[in-house]
C-alpha cells in the first residue's frame, strides 16, 4: 500500500466516494418524497443532453457537456410535470414516457452524428470509466504535498469534490425547509414556504450531482447511489439526521468495497482482469441494502395504529 496505491487507486477511490456521497445526500429526500426514480430518469436523459452539447460545440469538452446534461435534466423534469398535470397522469407513468423518449432521442442522435471516432459511446455513459482516472504524477504519499504533482491530478477529482461541496451546502442551507416540506407540504405552504420552488431546487441539485458523477463514474452508479444507501439507511434509524449519516457511511462503504473488489476480487479467485468498478459499486450497495432490509433495527413500517 505505498506508491502504487497512490498512483493507481487513490484518485479513483476518492472520486468514487465523492460521487457516491453526492448522489446519496439528495437521494435521502427524493426517497422520502416518493421521487426515488427521479434519479433514474435524470441519468437516462443525460445522454441526449450530452449528445446535443457535443453536436452544438463539435468537441468533447467537459463544461458544455455537463451543461447539456443538466439542461436535459431540467427539460425532463419540466416535461414530466407538464405531462402529469396536463394529462392528469400518475407521476410514474409520466416519468416513464419522458425518460424513455428522451433516451431514444439521444441514441438516435448518437447514431446520426458521426461520433464513432471520438470517445463518446453509450457504454461509456453507462459504466463510466472510474478505473482510468489514475494519477500518474502521484508517485507516493509525498506527492500529496507536491504542488507540481497535484497540478496533474485527474480533473474529475476536484470537480467531483466541488460538486459534493455544492450538494452538501444546499442540503445544509435548506435543511429545515426541506425537512418540513417533505414531511408536511400543506403545513409548509401555510407558513409561506414556496414548496414548488424548493422541490425544483432539490431536483436540480440532484441533477448536478448526477451529471458530475455521470461524467466520472457512469450512470449506473448514479442510479444506485440515489436509492440504495438512503434506502438502507432508512432501515437503521427513525431520525432524519441519523439517516443522512448512515446513508453517507453506506455510500462510502459501497464505493470502497466495490472498487477494491472490482480491482482485486478477480485476482483473488484466480481470474486475470479486473471487472467494472461502477457495476461492482452498484452491486455492493445492493448487498448492503439487502443486509439492512433483513436485519436493520427499523426495517418495518412504524406501527401507526390507525383510527383510535
191-210: contacts with other proteins (CB under 8 A): 191-192
What residues between 248 and 267 interact with other proteins by CB under 8 A?
A: 262, 266
Least spacing, CB of residue 74 vs other proteins, in Å: 19
Per the structure block, which three cell numbers stand in for 233?
439507511
Among positions 52, 207, 208, 281, the unique one binding other proteins when judged by CB under 8 A: 281
- Give yes or no for residue 117 binding other proteins (CB under 8 A): no
Q: Looking at 58-115, list the stretches that DSSP marks H as alpha helix, in order from N- to C-terminal side.
A: 62-86, 91-112
Site string for other proteins, 90-109 (x = CB under 8 A): x-xxxxxx--xx-xxx-xx-
Q: In angstroms, how far is the first alpha carbon of the chain from the final one?
A: 61
C-alpha span between 4 and 143 (Å, rounded)? 12
User: Is 246:233 a contact under the CB 8 Å cutoff?
Assistant: yes
Among positions 142, 196, 238, 291, the unique one binding other proteins when judged by CB under 8 A: 238
Least spacing, CB of residue 181 vs other proteins, in Å: 10
Residue 273, helix vs strand vs coil: coil
Least spacing, CB of residue 231 vs other proteins, in Å: 5
Q: Which of 293, 131, 104, 295 is nearest to 221 (CA)?
A: 131
C-alpha span between 94 and 98 (Å, rounded)? 6
What residues between 138 and 197 interact with other proteins by CB under 8 A?
A: 173-174, 176-177, 179-180, 182-184, 186-187, 189-192
Per the structure block, which three cell numbers stand in for 81?
410535470
Q: Number of residues in contact with other proteins, rule: CB under 8 A?
A: 95
Cβ distance to other proteins smaller for residue 140 or 266: 266
Binding segment toward other proteins, per CB under 8 A, in 50-58, 67-75, 205-213, 225-233: 225-233
User: Is 298:236 a contact under the CB 8 Å cutoff?
Assistant: yes
Among positions 1, 2, 58, 86, the unique one binding other proteins when judged by CB under 8 A: 86
Per the structure block, which three cell numbers stand in for 285?
450497495
Cβ distance to other proteins smaller for residue 147 or 300: 300
Least spacing, CB of residue 244 vs other proteins, in Å: 10
Per the structure block, which three cell numbers stand in for 151?
497540478
Cβ distance to other proteins smaller for residue 123 or 155: 123
* CA angle (64, 69, 70) in 5-degree steps: 95
Cβ distance to other proteins smaller for residue 68 or 230: 230
Cβ distance to other proteins smaller for residue 118 or 155: 118
Cβ distance to other proteins smaller for residue 91 or 140: 91
Least spacing, CB of residue 158 vs other proteins, in Å: 26
C-alpha span between 38 and 44 (Å, rounded)? 10
Half-sphere CA count of 200, side-chain side, radius 13 A: 12
Amino acid at each position: 500500500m505505498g506508491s502504487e496505491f497512490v498512483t493507481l487507486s487513490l484518485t479513483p477511490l476518492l472520486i468514487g466516494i465523492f460521487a457516491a456521497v453526492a448522489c446519496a445526500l439528495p437521494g435521502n429526500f427524493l426517497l422520502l418524497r416518493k421521487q426515488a426514480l427521479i434519479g433514474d430518469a435524470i441519468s437516462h436523459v443525460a445522454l441526449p443532453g450530452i449528445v446535443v452539447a457535443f453536436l452544438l460545440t463539435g468537441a468533447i469538452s467537459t463544461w458544455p457537456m455537463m451543461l447539456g446534461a443538466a439542461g436535459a435534466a431540467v427539460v425532463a423534469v419540466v416535461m414530466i410535470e407538464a405531462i402529469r398535470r396536463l394529462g392528469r397522469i400518475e407521476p410514474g407513468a409520466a416519468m416513464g414516457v419522458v425518460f424513455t423518449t428522451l433516451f431514444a432521442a439521444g441514441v438516435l442522435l448518437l447514431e446520426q452524428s458521426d461520433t464513432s471516432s471520438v470517445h463518446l459511446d453509450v457504454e461509456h455513459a453507462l459504466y463510466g470509466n472510474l478505473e482510468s482516472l489514475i494519477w500518474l504524477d502521484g508517485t507516493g504519499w509525498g506527492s500529496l504535498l507536491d504542488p507540481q504533482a497535484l497540478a496533474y491530478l485527474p480533473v474529475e477529482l476536484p470537480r467531483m469534490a466541488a460538486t459534493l461541496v455544492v450538494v452538501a451546502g444546499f442540503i445544509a442551507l435548506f435543511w429545515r425547509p426541506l425537512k418540513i416540506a417533505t414531511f408536511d407540504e400543506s403545513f409548509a405552504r401555510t407558513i409561506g414556504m414556496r414548496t414548488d420552488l424548493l422541490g425544483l431546487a432539490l431536483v436540480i441539485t440532484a441533477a448536478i450531482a448526477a451529471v458530475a458523477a455521470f461524467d466520472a463514474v457512469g450512470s449506473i452508479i448514479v442510479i444506485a447511489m440515489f436509492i440504495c444507501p438512503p434506502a438502507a439507511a432508512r432501515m437503521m434509524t427513525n431520525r432524519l439526521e441519523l439517516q443522512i449519516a448512515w446513508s453517507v457511511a453506506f455510500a462510502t462503504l459501497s464505493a470502497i468495497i466495490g472498487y477494491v473488489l472490482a480491482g482485486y476480487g478477480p485476482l483473488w479467485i484466480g481470474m486475470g482482469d479486473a471487472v467494472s468498478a461502477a457495476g461492482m459499486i452498484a452491486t455492493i450497495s445492493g448487498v448492503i441494502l439487502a443486509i439492512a432490509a433483513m436485519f436493520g433495527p427499523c426495517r418495518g413500517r412504524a406501527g401507526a395504529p390507525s383510527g383510535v
